[in-house]
Structure 1
Amino acid sequence: MSSTIEVHNPATGEPVGTYPVHTADDVRAAVERARAAAGWWDSLGFAGRRKRLDAFRGVMARRMHQLAGIVHQEMGKPHSDAALEIAMILDHVAWASRNAEKVLGRHKLKSGALTLHLAGTVEYRPLGVVGVIGPWNFPVATPLGSIAFALAAGNTVVFKPSEYTPGVGAWLVDAFNQVVPEHPVFQLVTGDGSTGAALCRAGVDKIAFTGSTATAKRVMATCAETLTPMVAECGGKDALIVDEDANLDAAVEGAVWGGLANAGQACIGTERVYVHQKVYSAFLEKLTAKVSDLRAGADTAAKIGPITMPSQIGVITGHISDALTRGGKVVAGGGETVGQVVQPTVLVDVPDDAPANQEETFGPTLTVRSVSDIDEAIRLTNASRYGLGATVYAGKRARDIASRIRSGMVSVNAVFANAILPTAPFGGVGDSGFGRIHGADGLREFTYPHSVVRQRFRPPLALTTFDRDDKTDTLLTKIVALVHGRG
C-alpha cells in the first residue's frame, strides 16, 4: 500500500500535489488531540466561537479566488463556478455562528396539569469530536455544511477530505488555524478509504459522511463496530417537473443548470425531467437550443469542466449507450468523450426502467419525458429508491405538487434552492441517506439534548410515592377524566 496519494488535474492529467495516507495510528492521535482541545473550544461559549468562525469566514472571503484555484486544479470545475461555491457556503457559515445560541441554548420547558410543580429546561450540548468525511464534487461547500455547524455547536473536528481534493481540505484547515492557533480544534487527515475507515474507528462521537450510497453502507458498517452514530448525505436521482402553466424559459434555464452545472456531478443535480404534454414540444425546443450552445472542455472558455473521477466516465457513457439501445434518442449533444471531458447530452424516449432513469449517472446528461398529467409526473418522480431532492416549475399548483413528492427537499421555480438557503435543512430519505446538515436541524445534528427538571414546590397530589392512598388515586382518576376524557 502506498504511503502517499498523488493528485492529478482531471483536465490535463498533470500532478498538482502529493499528500500522505494517514494510518490508523495517525488518525487516533488526531482524534486524541481533538478530544483534549474540545473542552477549551466549548468553554469559549457561543459568542467566543462566533468571533473565531467570523474571522475564518473573513479569511475565506478575502482569499476566495486562491481557494477557487485549488478547487479548479484538483477537481476540474471552472474557476468561476468554484468561486460561486465558496460564496454560497459563506452565508451558511455566517448563519451557523450567529444562530447557534438561539437554536442550541437553554430553553424553558412547559408544564402540564399534573406537572405544574415542575420546571424544566433543555439545552443542546456538543457531542465532543466530530469526524467529517467529505466529497470531491463540492469540496468546500459540502464538508463545511457539516464542519461549520459542528464547530458552532462546540465540537472539535477531524476532517478527511476526498483523495481527489486533499489540497482543498488542507487550505481550509490552514485558514482556520490562522484564527484559532491555540489548540487543534480543526484538523486534517488525508488518505484513501482506509483512512476514512480509521476515522470511523478512532473514537469520534459522530461521523458526517457525504458520498455514494454504496460507500455510505460501508461507512455505516464500520461505524456500527463502535456504535458511532453518523449522518449520511448520499446520492440522488433528482427529477424536475414542468407543469403546463410554468414559465418555460425559467424551467429550461433551471433544467440546464440543474443538470449540467459542475458537469452533472451533483447529488442534487437534475437527471430526469417530466414535462406536461401540453408544453412538452415547446419546452424541448427551447432546451435543445440552450444545450446546443454549451460545450464541455478543459480550456478557460468552456462552461462545463471535465469529469473528476476517471471511473465515472464509463458509468455516464454506459447509461447513454444503454438508453440508445433501448430506443432512446439524442436530441442535443451526444456524450462525446475526449480524455475526461464528456459533452452534455439530452435524451428522449428513454424507457422508465433504463439505468439512465433509475441509477445515479453523475454526469452531464438529462432524460426528458412527456407526461399526460401531473399525477403521472409525481408517480414517476417518486418511483425511485432515492429521495434527496426535486424541483417543480409551475404556477398555481406548485405548492401542491411539491407537497406530494417523496424527498427530503423540493425547490420551486428555482434549482438548488434548498442548498442555497442557510435555514433550510439539507438531506434525503431512502437510499439518499439520513440526518440533516444546514439550518437548525444541522446544528442539532452535532449535539445531544440535555434536560434538567426541578421541583418548584410540593405537589398537591403526591403521586410518585408508595404512601399514595385510595383518596389520591380517586382524585387522580377524576383529574385525568376532566383533562383528557373529552378527547
Structure 2
Amino acid sequence: MATLRSLNPATAELLAEYEIADAKTVDEAVAEARIAAGWWGGLGFPARRDRLLAWKRAIAAGSDELANLIHDETGKPFGDALLEVMLAVEHLDWAARNAGRVLRRRRVGSGLLASDQAAALEYRPFGVIGVIGPWNYPVYTPLGSVSYALAAGNAVVFKPSEHTPGVGVWLAAAWARAVPGHPVLRVVTGDGTTGAALCESGADKIAFTGSAATARLVMAACARTLTPIVVEGGGKDAMIVAADADLDAAARAAAFGGFGNAGQTCAGVERVYVERPVYQDFLGRLTELTAQIKGDAYGPMTTPEQPEVVRRHVADALVAGGRAVVGGADSVREPFVRPVLLAEVPEESAAVTEETFGPTLVVNPVADLDEAVRLANASKYGLAASIFSRDRGRALAIARRLRTGAVSINAVLGFAGVPSLPFGGVGDSGFGRIHGADGLREFSRAQSVTWRRFGAMIDLMRLDRDPAALERARRLFRLRHARGA
C-alpha cells in the first residue's frame, strides 16, 4: 500500500503516514456515500440541521486540538489556526440553520398563458459531492463546500490536500462521533492521483480549490462525464487606497492581508494602488509596520515549492525596475520567508501579474482612482479586492466597478466572516459560489413542478387544436405584448 507522509513544514518532522487511496478505494467510498446519501437526503431539513449542529459542537469542543493539528501540518501560528476553525464553525452553523429556509419548496407565479397551471420550485440534492481541498486553510476553505453540500442534503467524499491529510481525517472522525452509523461524510487521503480518481468516480458534482492550472485539469477530467464543477482558483487581489483614507488603518490592513498566513491567502492582498498625494505617507507607514514584523508572526511556507516562486517574483520585480523597501531576494530562507515590501514595480512584472502566494506586497502609486480601478481589473484573476476611503458612497461606487467576486471597504477579508455572503471569483479565480444562500443552491439542483388546477380557457396544448382557439390566443398575445409597436 502506497503511503503519504505528513510533515511539519517548519521542522520536516514526520507527523503521521496516511494511505494514498487508489481508484478502487475512491470508487468504494463514493459508492458507500451514495447509499448514505439516500438516508441523509430523506431526513428532511430539521433532522439534518440537528445532526449538523451536533457535528458543529464536536468541532467547537475540539477546536484547540484541531487548531494544533492545523499548526503542525501548515506551520501557521496556533492563534491563526484557531481563528480559522472559529470562522469555519460560524459557516457550518449558518448552513445548518438556513438550508430549510433557502431550499424549501415554494410556489411561484404561473403567468397568463399557463394560468391553468400551478407551479412550484424545489431544490433537490445532487447525491454525492466530491470536495478537493487546499492546504492553506485546510478547515475553513473546504468546509465552505462540505458544510453547504451536507446542509443541502448531499453526502460528501472529501479529499484533503496531501499537505494536510490529518485535518481531513480529524473532521471525518468528529462527524462519525456526532452522526454515527452512516458514512455521509467520507475522507479519502492521497495525492493528485487520488484527486483525479475522485473526479472520475461518478460523483455528482466536484468542488475544487487550488491553482487555475490544476483547475483546468480537473475540468477536463469532469468534462468526460459532464460532471459539474465549482472552482476557486486563487487570486492576485488588489487594495485601493484613496487620498482621503485613514492611512494607519489602511497600512495595518495591507500588512495583515499581505503577510498573514505567510501570504498564502487566496483573497488576501498582493497589490496596493495608492493615490499619489498620499503615496509616500502611506508607504512610510507600511514600511514601519513591515519592518516590525517578527519572524514567528506567520510561520513558514507550507509547501517546499513556494519559496522559489517568491524568490523568482522578487528578483523579477527588481530587475524590471522596482525597488525593495523592506527585504528582498535574501529574505527567502527556506522554509521561511521574511516580509518583502516592493514599490514602483512595473505592471508587466511577474510580481504584479502572477499569484505569488507568499509574504510579499507590491505598492504602486496611481494618478487617481480611475487608474487604480483600471489596474486592479487588468489581472486575469478576479477573486477579491479592498478599498480604503472615508467616503463610503464613493467606495461603494468603486466596488461596483471592480471585476471581483468580493470587495471589502475599509477592511480586508471582511466578507470571510459573513456566512450569508457568497464567495467565489471570475476569470482564473474560478466560477460558482460557496457560502450563503448561493452556496446552498450551488450544491442543489432546481426541480420545477406544475400541476393543473382547472381546464384551460384556451386549450392550445393538443394536436387537434381548434383554429378558433388559436386565433383568440393570437389576438390576446398581440394585445398584451405588441401594443404600442
Q: TM-score range by the shorter chain?
A: over 0.9
Asked whether the 8 Å contact 2:131–2:206 carries over to 1, the reply is yes
Matches of 1:254 and 1:485, distance apart in 2: 56
CA deviations 1:259-303 (Å, max 9, x no partner) are 11100001112100000111111111111111111023xxxxx11
Matches of 2:113 and 2:184, distance apart in 1: 45
Matches of 1:439 and 1:101, distance apart in 2: 13
Deviates more, 1:85-94 or 1:467-476: 467-476
User: Which of 274, 297, 300 pairs up with 1:303?
Assistant: 297
1:457 is matched with 454
Matches of 1:315 and 1:129, distance apart in 2: 36
Equivalent residues in 2 for 1:415-454 (5 A)?
Answer: 415-454=412-451
Aligned-partner SS, 1:142: helix
Aligned-partner SS, 2:93: helix
Matches of 2:4 and 2:157, distance apart in 1: 19
Aligned-partner SS, 2:446: strand
Q: TM-score, normalised by structure 1?
A: 0.97
Matches of 1:128 and 1:119, distance apart in 2: 28
User: Which of 271, 290, 310 pairs up with 1:316?
Assistant: 310
Aligned-partner SS, 2:270: strand
2:237 is matched with 238
Aligned-partner SS, 1:310: coil
> Displacement, 1:418?
2.1
> Displacement, 1:486?
4.0
2:99 is matched with 100
> Displacement, 1:476?
1.5
2:482 is matched with 485
Matches of 1:470 and 1:451, distance apart in 2: 30
Asked whether the 8 Å contact 2:422–2:435 carries over to 1, the reply is yes
Structure 2 letter corresponding to 1:401: I
Matches of 1:77 and 1:127, distance apart in 2: 35
User: Which of 316, 329, 338 pairs up with 1:343?
Assistant: 338
Deviates more, 1:370-379 or 1:223-232: 223-232
Matches of 2:346 and 2:263, distance apart in 1: 21
Deviates more, 1:108-117 or 1:227-236: 108-117
Q: Cα RMSD between the aligned structures?
A: 1.1
Matches of 2:236 and 2:154, distance apart in 1: 33
Structure 1 unmatched ranges of 5 or more: 297-301
Matches of 1:10 and 1:230, distance apart in 2: 31
2:379 is matched with 384
Structure 1 letter corresponding to 2:373: I
Asked whether the 8 Å contact 1:291–1:333 carries over to 2, the reply is no
> Displacement, 1:239?
0.4
Q: TM-score, normalised by structure 2?
A: 0.97
Matches of 1:37 and 1:465, distance apart in 2: 43
> Displacement, 1:334?
3.1
Matches of 1:417 and 1:107, distance apart in 2: 32
Asked whether the 8 Å contact 2:307–2:334 carries over to 1, the reply is no
2:388 is the alignment partner of 1:414: no
Structure 2 letter corresponding to 1:390: A
Structure 2 unmatched ranges of 5 or more: none
> Displacement, 1:248?
1.3
> Displacement, 1:465?
2.0
Deviates more, 1:385-394 or 1:472-481: 472-481
Asked whether the 8 Å contact 1:209–1:233 carries over to 2, the reply is yes
2:118 is matched with 119
Equivalent residues in 2 for 1:222-261 (5 A)?
Answer: 222-261=221-260
2:352 is matched with 357
Q: Percent identity?
A: 53
Asked whether the 8 Å contact 1:295–1:344 carries over to 2, the reply is no
CA deviations 1:297-328 (Å, max 9, x no partner) are xxxxx111100011111000110011111111
2:65 is matched with 66
Matches of 2:380 and 2:207, distance apart in 1: 22
Matches of 1:333 and 1:52, distance apart in 2: 50
